[in-house]
Structure 1
């Protein structure tokens, strides 16, 4: 029977320690090789938490599935902030250009409930609300209103 281990690891910096080592060790596979493979596949998400699924079949074959980091992590990386605002409704900690919002929306589109880029961008902007990041110098709520008003239709087409 195949075993599946799902963990969040720091991109490009996974180790054989917890949570991976204790979960993979009893499965009888080369943990170091798996960790090295995870680090190669998550290197582009350096510093962000990345969801990883490790599947080990009966013959000890390992299949890795690397997910996309949470939207919050992507927003904070693009905005260049370490952590979100403690008071996101009153204090902004960073600003995202619309291009960054679109890039994140395209990256996360598969895992979102959105059916087009415009609504996906609004979902990303919704995350900006809770993190305390502005979009194009506007509060995220104002940016969502601008999208609804058609202000950025050309870019979001």
Structure 2
């Protein structure tokens, strides 16, 4: 006999999907089917919640309690940077290995830093910004027209301390 169902228990399921699209039911069903929830319903809810990340891969946390599912986006640095670049949506099947050669502003970088601060391993905000600039470097984008290593050097030299302290 299976264990008794506890309505107060909270379970979390994490899934990576493309923003604005429901994840494939074949991927979602094995993860949430055991909780007695229809994967189609949760997939539609995920598609509605990830519209702001349309065309970008993002992580979604599904909170399950009492056979009710609520979804929330778990932002990653790369997804936030790609959203800040405001590039047009591409066809993922036709365009591969895209280089993101755009530029974001320093205020966009500060906003991303504030969103990622609680998940960062750095002691100070400047360290968090350096982590995000490392992601910018791997994506290929620039900040205020400067490459990421130059911005990291400027942050470490203390050039932006008053801006970082105000954030």
Q: TM-score when scaled to structure 2?
A: 0.73
Aligned match of 2:74: 67
Runs (4+) off by over 4 Å: 1-4, 81-84
Give the SS at the match of 1:29: coil
Unaligned runs of 5+ in 1: 86-91
Task: Provide the aligned C-alpha RMSD in A.
Answer: 2.6
SS in 1 for 2:153: helix
SS at match of 2:79: helix
Tell me how far apart the structure 1 counterparts of residues 37 and 19 of structure 2 sit (CA, whole Å): 21
Partner SS for 1:19: helix
Alignment partner for residue 150 of structure 2, among 142, 145, 151?
142
Q: Report how many residues are paired.
A: 149
Q: Give unpaired runs (5+ residues) of structure 2.
A: 91-96
Structure 1 residue 4 displacement after superposition:
4.7
Counterparts of 1:66 and 1:73, CA distance in 2:
11
- TM-score with structure 1 setting the length: 0.77
**1:29 and 2:44 equivalent?**
no
How far residue 10 of structure 1 moved from its aligned partner, in angstroms, is: 1.5
